[in-house]
């Protein structure tokens, strides 16, 4: 047996077209980069380190099996035949995770339960109209990217899925793309998570669109009214019923989010500890690792990936601009002093965008404390993104 055939990860480089071999090398390098940037905290480490390792593993670990086919022992997302699936479930170690938690959106729901259980809705309930007004404005990118994507050549379902990146909510993008454009859900979700990771560095440039005197407006957070636990619990129940009635297609996400929220407000500590600890971080770990393992050569050689990279950026930037415009409009109509940078927080991405808004306000005026006000639109952004996702998932099949 030739020595090279013994080390099949290397041998398989010579069995495929040069372009494919180069793409494999590129993905291994990209996996290393993601892992390093996660390690350095430039990108979100809890997602990027497992994702990078998954990419390294799947692109390095190619082997020759049965009748000269090349594949890995990670997973096969394309298998549809029942008998073949049963066989692969017993061989590929990530196949059970993919089949039982990705294909049906369960992993996004598990993460949403955790997010619900750690979300503070005090500021949303204290200032509901302001929060929802700004959050709705910050969906501008989610709205405009749909026609832009179609104009650039995507089919409507794909354009709607990448448009959801404008909502800056990773699990929502995953769930939406699984429902609407399953064949592109891997690159769309990876694009979403990479861009969400770099929000913290990119959004301060957008904030500079607002004049410095407005960025430094001080707000008195002591005037925010207190909200009782009963009101928060009642909100979780009523909002869940209403949104599930309106959008049954997104009901698993709504139910998961409000379950987490209701358990937190009901004070069931054991559940809250489980949801915000082992469940949330366990789901995030396997989400990152499995997404990385799905990033094979076929994904990167898809010509639509470049378009998705562009549209993801467009969606997030437009949403940021929409949020700032919403903040400027609200500062004009508000009777109290209002810092328009709070608009940035409407691009949900809890709590990153709220922190960015606070950071930019503090740069303009050290005494400007807007974080408590910014948390309201940040949480409302999750709800408005879920509403748009529900509208898209319901509307797309009807329009076709």
> 73-77 — which CB contacts under 8 Å span 24+ positions?
74/293, 75/290, 75/293, 75/294, 77/186, 77/294
**Residue pair 286/204 in contact by the 8 Å Cβ criterion:** no
Stretch that binds another protein, among 85-93, 237-245, 276-284, 290-298 (CB under 8 A): 237-245
- For helices 371-399 and 156-163, the axis angle rounded to 10 degrees is 170
The residues near 145 (Cβ < 8 Å, ≥ 6 apart) are 159, 162, 163, 165, 166, 311, 314, 315, 318
Please identify, among the stretches 108-116, 222-230, 275-283, 290-298, the one whose residues bind another protein according to the rule CB under 8 A: 222-230
Dist CA 191 CA 309 (whole Å)? 6
- Please say which residue, 156 or 260, places its beta carbon nearer to another protein: 156
Nearer to another protein, 63 or 234 (CB): 234
Among 261, 380, 382, 393, binds another protein (CB under 8 A): 380
Closest to another protein by CB, 111 or 124: 124
Q: What is the CA radius of gyration of the chain?
A: 22
Q: Does 373 bind another protein (CB under 8 A)?
A: no
In this complex, which beta carbon is closest to another protein, that of residue 102 or of residue 338? 338
Both tokens of 80, joined, read 């549809």
Stretch that binds another protein, among 66-74, 266-274, 296-304, 391-399 (CB under 8 A): 391-399
Instruction: Using the rule CB under 8 A, give the single segment among 27-35, 85-93, 124-132, 291-299 that binds another protein.
Output: 124-132
DSSP 180-205: H-GGGHHHHHHHHHHHHHTHHHHHHH
CA distances from 230 to 239, 266, 307 (A): 14, 9, 47
Binding of residue 226 to another protein (CB under 8 A)? yes
150 is a site residue for another protein (CB under 8 A): yes
Among 66, 230, 332, 367, binds another protein (CB under 8 A): 230
7-15, 78-86, 276-284, 390-398 -> range binding another protein (CB under 8 A): 390-398
Under the binding rule (CB under 8 A), the answer on residue 139 touching another protein is yes
Is residue 184 a contact point for another protein (CB under 8 A)? no
- Residue 227 contacts another protein per CB under 8 A: yes
Q: How many CB atoms lie within 10 A of CB 14?
A: 10
Instruction: State which of residues 22, 87, 91, 147 lies at the interface with another protein (CB under 8 A).
Output: 147
172 binds another protein (CB under 8 A): no
Is 242 near another protein (CB under 8 A)? yes
Decide if residue 339 touches another protein (CB under 8 A).
no
> Which of 168, 164, 195 is closest to 178 using CA atoms?
164
Nearer to another protein, 63 or 391 (CB): 391
153: left (phi over 0), alpha (psi -120 to 50) or beta: left
Residue 64 three-state SS: strand
Q: Does 388 bind another protein (CB under 8 A)?
A: yes
Cα–Cα dist 59/40, whole Å: 23
- Least spacing, CB of residue 24 vs another protein, in Å: 37
Distance CA 330, CA 143 (A): 20
State in Å, rounded, how far the first CA of the chain is from the last one. Answer: 56
The count of residues in the chain is 400
Q: Is 231 in the site for another protein (CB under 8 A)?
A: yes
Applying CB under 8 A, does 384 fall inside the site for another protein?
yes
Positions that interact with another protein (CB under 8 A): 124-125, 128-129, 131-133, 135-136, 139-140, 143-144, 146-147, 150-151, 156, 159, 226-231, 234-235, 238-239, 242-243, 246, 380, 383-384, 387-388, 391-392, 395, 399
């Amino acid at each position: 047996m030739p020595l090279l055939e013994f080390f099949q990860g290397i041998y398989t480089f010579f069995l495929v077209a040069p372009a494919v071999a180069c793409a494999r090398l590129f993905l291994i390098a990209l996996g290393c980069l993601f892992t390093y940037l996660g390690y350095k905290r430039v990108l979100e480490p809890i997602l990027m380190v497992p994702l990078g390792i998954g990419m390294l593993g799947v692109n390095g670990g190619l082997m020759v099996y049965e009748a000269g086919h090349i594949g890995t022992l990670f997973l096969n997302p394309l298998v549809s035949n029942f008998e073949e699936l049963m066989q692969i479930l017993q061989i590929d170690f990530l196949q059970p995770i993919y089949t039982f938690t990705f294909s049906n959106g369960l992993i996004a729901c598990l993460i949403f339960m955790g997010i619900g259980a750690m979300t503070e809705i005090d500021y949303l309930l204290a200032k509901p109209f302001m929060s929802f007004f700004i959050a709705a404005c910050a969906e501008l990118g989610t709205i405009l990217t749909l026609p832009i994507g179609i104009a650039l050549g995507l089919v409507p379902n794909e354009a709607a899925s990448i448009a959801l990146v404008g909502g800056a909510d990773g699990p929502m993008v995953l769930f939406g793309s699984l429902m609407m454009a399953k064949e592109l859900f891997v690159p769309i979700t990876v694009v979403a998570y990479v861009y969400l990771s770099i929000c913290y560095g990119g959004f301060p440039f957008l904030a500079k669109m607002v004049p410095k005197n407005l960025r430094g407006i001080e707000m008195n957070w002591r005037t925010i009214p207190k909200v009782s636990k009963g009101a928060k619990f009642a909100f979780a129940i009523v909002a869940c019923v209403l949104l599930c009635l309106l959008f049954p297609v997104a009901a698993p996400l709504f139910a998961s989010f409000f379950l987490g929220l209701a358990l937190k407000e009901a004070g069931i500590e054991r559940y809250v500890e489980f949801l915000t600890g082992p469940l949330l971080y366990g789901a995030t770990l396997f989400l990152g690792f499995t997404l990385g393992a799905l990033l094979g050569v076929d994904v990167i050689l898809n010509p639509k990936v470049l378009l998705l990279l562009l549209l993801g950026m467009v969606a997030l930037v437009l949403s940021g601009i929409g949020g700032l415009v919403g903040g400027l409009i609200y500062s004009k109509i508000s009777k109290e002093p209002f810092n328009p940078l709070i608009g940035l927080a409407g691009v949900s991405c809890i709590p990153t965008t709220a922190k960015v808004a606070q950071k930019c306000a503090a740069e303009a005026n050290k005494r400007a404390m807007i974080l408590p006000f910014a948390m309201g639109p940040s949480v409302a952004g999750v709800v408005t993104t879920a509403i748009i996702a529900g509208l898209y998932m319901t509307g797309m099949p009807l329009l076709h």
